[in-house]
Structure 1
Amino acid sequence: MAVQEGDDDPFEEQRERVDDSMQRLFRRYGSENAFEYAVAIVASVLARLLDLVPPVMLGVAIDAIFTDSRAFGLGPVPAEWLPATQEGQFALTVAIIAGSFALGAVFHWLRNWGWNASSQNITHDVRVDAYNQMQRLGMDFFSDKQTGELMSILSNDVNQLERFLNDGLNSASRLIVMVIGVSLVLFTYNWQLALVALVPVPLIALFTYGFISIIRPKYKTMRATVGALNSRLENNLGGIQVIKSSNTERYEDDRVDDASMEYFDANWDAIWTRIKFFPSLQAISGFGFALTFVVGGYWVFAGAPGPLTGELTLGTFVVFIQLSQQLTWPMAQFGQVINMYQRAEASSARVFGLMDEHGALADDDELPDLAVEGGRVEYDDVTFGYDEEPIVEGVSFTVEPGETAALVGPTGAGKSTVLKLLLRMYDVDEGEIRIDGQDVRDVSLRSLRQSIGYVGQDTFLFYGTVRENIAYGTFIADDEEIVEAAKAAEAHEFIRDLPEGYDTMVGERGVKLSGGQRQRISIARAVLKDPEILVLDEATSDVDTETEMLIQRSLDELTEDRTTFAIAHRLSTIKDAERIVVLEDGRIVEHGGHDELLENGGLYAHLWGVQAGEIDELPEEFIERAAKRQARTEAGND
């Protein structure tokens, strides 16, 4: 069953906030492409008007040259300027027709250049602006959005805009010029038969109004389902190793089939509406042409029918038949233009909904840069949460310059969140975080993050070479500096043994390297950055003991004389830290040195006992609390 409007669309709320999205598109981006639009519009008008010249000249030639039913004339051109002989008139007619085709080709080229250039410029700017805005949103925005959904906006929705801005506006310009131009010519020749030829116009307008009201919600639903399908495909491709190792190919086949079928149903619903509408439109246009042929033809050989009066020459009749044919196709295309507009409107609402998303962290360029003198970091009564549910609450501690502070605690205690607040992945709800006395919210975001190096457990490598990944973020580094950073991270030896050395492609997300190799490249990246403050988020969690030893040796050198924060589940890796902060349920429950915390017999001592295999000696209260925490974690993941 097709998804109903708003169902499974994570951007429904954003989209509903957007008013007049297409007008906003032209207001915001149209002025920047005024020259291209001017060329396109002027060239479209002239090209379409030149398209009217051959049938008009054919009518003149039939009446004046072939049937001699009236004098040869070209409207306002004085008769004495025109040839007097039949041969001369024929030659002039041929020259005018040939010239109109040649000049028309030039204007058609300019028309196509103008529409294509403007549409490409606008869609490029829209895509880049949408990405820039998305990239600056806080991490809470991404917590309930999937990559495929965002890709659907940046790719599919922007491409829908491009199709309308190019093909749609191009067709619309042709429609307008042809309808107005043909109508003026027809009324100039014979206003009575012109009224007959234009009978389909009000019927087409009525049909189109009904089509718009029916198709608009269908396109909104379709945009939602294509985003859901992209998310499903992106998730499955990213988790292909888990799918294979879990032998769940058939299960995922069914899930992709379901997502694809929802898109199929929504898309087919819109298609079914279109394929009923367009033939009806063509039938109405064809009826107008047939009516013109019947009335005009009878008028030529039998005289004015019914209430019509006057004479209709053969040449005039031919002009009407020729121009009626040129009018029929643009009117039939009118439905296609409206169709493209409706699809573009649904897509533009999603694009601007993303652009209007609130939650971007304040990054005022006027703010001063962070000045790190020693690297003293203070958390002062910091509270933060999602949707009014606190994740960390009342957190206060100080790390002196050059110290290493380790954050430990059970899963879900808030350790990573505490450090993400330092990096301003989120902003605190209450309290302050200061570096050398400067509130992190009062300095430029660029300088803050430039002063902090981050090494995480889920090391992300970009598709590219080893060299490019080490230099990421420090793009001006030379080869010698990159190699020195790799040596400091114990990575140079294995990089040298790779097929292309530092120029080896790492594959998507670094899939060609082991977990330990990826983490050492991440450490090399941090070494190259040479930050004043270092954040280590379980940097040795997914490696074997030997690799951990190598990485730990790299980290010992990297953390020397730097203010360092470390998160670790393996407590043996942080037991030498000058300050250990123990978190539980978002609050600090104890802090101190390793030996001191063991003597206290609190949560840290119990966690140490778990890792030392002393489970039988743990108090029952600790085990019960651990079970409750695990239950809460599983419930939150459901």
Structure 2
Amino acid sequence: MRTKQKTDYHVLLHLCTFIKPYMAYMCLGVSMLLLVLGVQLVRPVIMKEFIDVGVATKDMGLITNYAVAYIGLILFGMIALGVENYALQSFGQRIIYDIRNKIFENILTMSPREFTAYPVGNLVTRVTNDTESIRTLYTEVLVKISSSILQIIGILAFMFLIDTTLATIVLLLVPVFAGVIFIYRKYARKAFRGVRSKVAASNASVQEMLNAILMIKTYVGEIIMEKSYDKVSREFLEAGLFEVKTFAIFRPIVDGLFFVALIAIFTVTGYFDSITEAGTVFAFLQYINRIFEPIKEIAEKYGNLQSALAGAERILPMLESETKQVQKNIVIPKEFSSIHSIEFDHVYFSYDGTENYVLKDINWSLQEGEFLGIAGPSGGGKSTMMQLLLGFEQPTKGCIRINGHDLSSLDARIIRQSMGYVFQDSHLFKGSIEENISLFDSSITEEMIKEAAKRAHLDSSVQRLEEGYQTPVGYLGSLLSQGQRQLLSLARTLVQNKSLLVFDEATSNIDSHTEELLQQSIADMKGDKTMIAIAHRLSTLRDATKIIVISDGEIVEQGTLEEVLGQKGLFYQLWNA
């Protein structure tokens, strides 16, 4: 995802690709914007004629006509402005909806290795803060900067039509403004890049600390964490102050130039002595005020532009990468409706593609209805082997076959769709027990949920709850015990009726009573389901058809429970530890 910083042109060019589906909204908004701009340019001219012609001649008919025209333009401008705002805001919101969904879809399709390379807080920032900053790019920045430029050109044109001398004085100040904006551009981009970076760092830090809040409190580490976050927050503060300082210096310069223009006009002209020329002076004062407003707006929107571009730079790699579509319905080929066999054939694996293998010459096979137990010390390669089986990683050498088919030639999601996985840490979502078992799948009936809960030995404890299966689980399952969460995770797997079940350290974080219930569930399914269990608590493997022992990425022992115990090697030591 990370890439070198893109040029502003490249970033804007790619962001423009999202405009096409909503071109009608943009055209409507721009049309109304031009009408509003035209109204704003014409109003000073009407006021000039009102003073120089109507008031000077005391013609009540003309005065009334100009007054009606002026009020009519104000009302028309208000309506056009309302339509403009609605069209442009709708335009921007719909585009951001597409961008936000594409980024989230990209995150969903990232491999586990890609996902773990980024703090969760950074990814959250991509979906929220960065996309929100881009929204202003579509709804305000690009359109408003363009309209401000057109407004400046239009005002200068009307000024020259009214009086060439006064218009020339104002025109001489334009290069000064251009220079100020050029200098501001340099520092603004740096400031907004810094702010965006520190927002992501702050989110990542908060996310990490809140996820570990119980451990922090257990070790009485609140003060240490407070100091750690204070450092991150202070860097955020410094980035924000640099941004504020940049704009605080620029804005007074713009205001100062406005008064310079007024003084210049009052100094070089003698028009105040003539009532017939008062309308011209009045019109010029309005135009001067209005020419400075779009210049100020350019400065402000340029700041927003830099903020948006800084956010866009961060998400652009996600937008440019080809996103694998998340299929709503994965069609399982007939030959994979059930897992009949799994074979690891001389499998080697290295994370960096070199000969620094974390798995070396792994050979084992599993037939339908068998129960494979995997044991070994931590860091030996057990979970890595499961990552290969799930298709998240590909073997560096060797082959993995499912039902005789090379896994590398298949869509790994097909295999995962046929596999039930019970993790060491059961993650629960906001909702009820029923919703967490079904994973919000409306096609799973209440009877199916209760049957799965009974097979997982969860039903009896749920029935004792006042709200039963409608009981909220709380944030990350905080309202349930660790044992209940793990049994719920098993029920979630069983309700899917998968032919292959994988237990990844499923008993490592539960009490002995829950472990007995889980072991009973496994024993009940023996022969009916094909099962793989990775375990530190080796009692979980009592009923295994075969056991392999992995150490330092190699299979050092394998056989039945009696056979591996009889070898009196590593498994024997672990069993008696």
- The TM-score bracket by the shorter chain reads over 0.9
**Per the alignment, do residues 112 and 361 of structure 1 end up closer, same or farther by CA in structure 2, a change over 3 Å counting?**
closer
Q: What's the offset of the Cα at 1:361?
A: 11
Correspondent of 2:99 among 118, 126, 132 = 126
The equivalent of 2:523 in structure 1 is 556
2:266 is the counterpart of 1:301: no
Indicate conservation of the 8 Å contact 1:368/1:444, yes or no. no
CA distance in 2, matches of 1:111, 1:445: 49
Correspondent of 2:309 among 338, 345, 370 = 345
**Per the alignment, do residues 145 and 596 of structure 1 end up closer, same or farther by CA in structure 2, a change over 3 Å counting?**
same
**Per the alignment, do residues 18 and 530 of structure 1 end up closer, same or farther by CA in structure 2, a change over 3 Å counting?**
farther
The equivalent of 2:258 in structure 1 is 285
Q: Deviations over 1:311-347 (max 9, x none)?
A: 9822112111112111111111211111111111111
Indicate conservation of the 8 Å contact 2:52/2:276, yes or no. no
Indicate conservation of the 8 Å contact 2:338/2:418, yes or no. no
2:191 is the counterpart of 1:224: no
Indicate conservation of the 8 Å contact 1:300/1:312, yes or no. no
CA distance in 2, matches of 1:312, 1:168: 41
2:411 is the counterpart of 1:434: no
Q: What's the offset of the Cα at 1:404?
A: 0.8
2:120 is the counterpart of 1:147: yes
Q: Deviations over 1:226-261 (max 9, x none)?
A: 211111111111111111111111111101101101
Q: Deviations over 1:103-148 (max 9, x none)?
A: 1111101110122111111111111101111111111112231111
Indicate conservation of the 8 Å contact 1:198/1:288, yes or no. no
Indicate conservation of the 8 Å contact 2:148/2:295, yes or no. yes
Partner SS, residue 406 of structure 1: strand
Q: What's the offset of the Cα at 1:360?
A: 7.3
Gaps spanning 5+ residues in structure 1: where? Answer: 1-10, 69-84, 303-310, 611-638
2:341 is the counterpart of 1:376: yes
CA distance in 1, matches of 2:529, 2:261: 83
Q: Deviations over 1:537-566 (max 9, x none)?
A: 011111111111112212323454222111
2:541 is the counterpart of 1:574: yes
Alignment RMSD (CA, Å): 2.5
Partner SS, residue 495 of structure 2: helix
The equivalent of 2:300 in structure 1 is 336
The equivalent of 1:491 in structure 2 is 458
Correspondent of 1:110 among 63, 77, 83 = 83
CA distance in 1, matches of 2:326, 2:302: 40
Indicate conservation of the 8 Å contact 1:408/1:568, yes or no. yes
Q: Deviations over 1:373-432 (max 9, x none)?
A: 452011122222323443222212110111111111100011011112111222333322
Deviates more, 1:182-191 or 1:508-517: 182-191
CA distance in 1, matches of 2:100, 2:413: 23
2:38 is the counterpart of 1:49: yes
Partner SS, residue 145 of structure 1: coil
2:552 is the counterpart of 1:600: no
Deviates more, 1:154-163 or 1:440-449: 440-449
Indicate conservation of the 8 Å contact 1:538/1:566, yes or no. yes
CA distance in 2, matches of 1:133, 1:359: 5
Indicate conservation of the 8 Å contact 1:285/1:332, yes or no. no
Matches within 5 A, 1:168-187: 168-187=141-160
The equivalent of 1:464 in structure 2 is 431
**Per the alignment, do residues 287 and 59 of structure 1 end up closer, same or farther by CA in structure 2, a change over 3 Å counting?**
same
2:413 is the counterpart of 1:446: yes
The equivalent of 1:5 in structure 2 is none
Q: Which amino acid aligns with 2:396?
A: D
Q: What's the offset of the Cα at 1:165?
A: 2.3
Q: TM-score, normalised to structure 2's length?
A: 0.94
CA distance in 1, matches of 2:103, 2:567: 53
Gaps spanning 5+ residues in structure 2: where? Answer: none
**Per the alignment, do residues 515 and 24 of structure 1 end up closer, same or farther by CA in structure 2, a change over 3 Å counting?**
farther
The equivalent of 2:473 in structure 1 is 506
CA distance in 1, matches of 2:239, 2:301: 20
CA distance in 1, matches of 2:380, 2:150: 67
Correspondent of 2:182 among 182, 205, 209 = 209
Q: Which amino acid aligns with 1:316?
A: T
Q: Which amino acid aligns with 1:605?
A: Y
Percent of pairs with identical residues: 28
CA distance in 2, matches of 1:421, 1:211: 52
**Per the alignment, do residues 380 and 473 of structure 1 end up closer, same or farther by CA in structure 2, a change over 3 Å counting?**
farther
Deviates more, 1:426-435 or 1:375-384: 426-435
2:291 is the counterpart of 1:327: yes
Partner SS, residue 80 of structure 2: helix
2:78 is the counterpart of 1:95: no
The equivalent of 1:72 in structure 2 is none
Matches within 5 A, 1:383-402: 383-388=348-353, 389-402=356-369
CA distance in 2, matches of 1:226, 1:88: 62
Partner SS, residue 530 of structure 1: coil
CA distance in 1, matches of 2:229, 2:513: 41
Indicate conservation of the 8 Å contact 1:527/1:558, yes or no. no
Q: TM-score, normalised to structure 1's length?
A: 0.85
Q: What's the offset of the Cα at 1:293?
A: 4.1
Indicate conservation of the 8 Å contact 2:505/2:535, yes or no. yes
The equivalent of 2:497 in structure 1 is 530
CA distance in 2, matches of 1:183, 1:520: 75
2:380 is the counterpart of 1:413: yes
Q: What's the offset of the Cα at 1:478?
A: 1.4
**Per the alignment, do residues 96 and 205 of structure 1 end up closer, same or farther by CA in structure 2, a change over 3 Å counting?**
same
The equivalent of 1:40 in structure 2 is 29
**Per the alignment, do residues 17 and 342 of structure 1 end up closer, same or farther by CA in structure 2, a change over 3 Å counting?**
closer
Q: Deviations over 1:149-184 (max 9, x none)?
A: 111111111111122322323532441232122122
Q: What's the offset of the Cα at 1:475?
A: 3.9
CA distance in 2, matches of 1:187, 1:221: 43
Indicate conservation of the 8 Å contact 1:289/1:325, yes or no. no
Q: Which amino acid aligns with 1:14?
A: T
Indicate conservation of the 8 Å contact 2:549/2:557, yes or no. yes
CA distance in 1, matches of 2:454, 2:573: 38
Deviates more, 1:285-294 or 1:403-412: 285-294
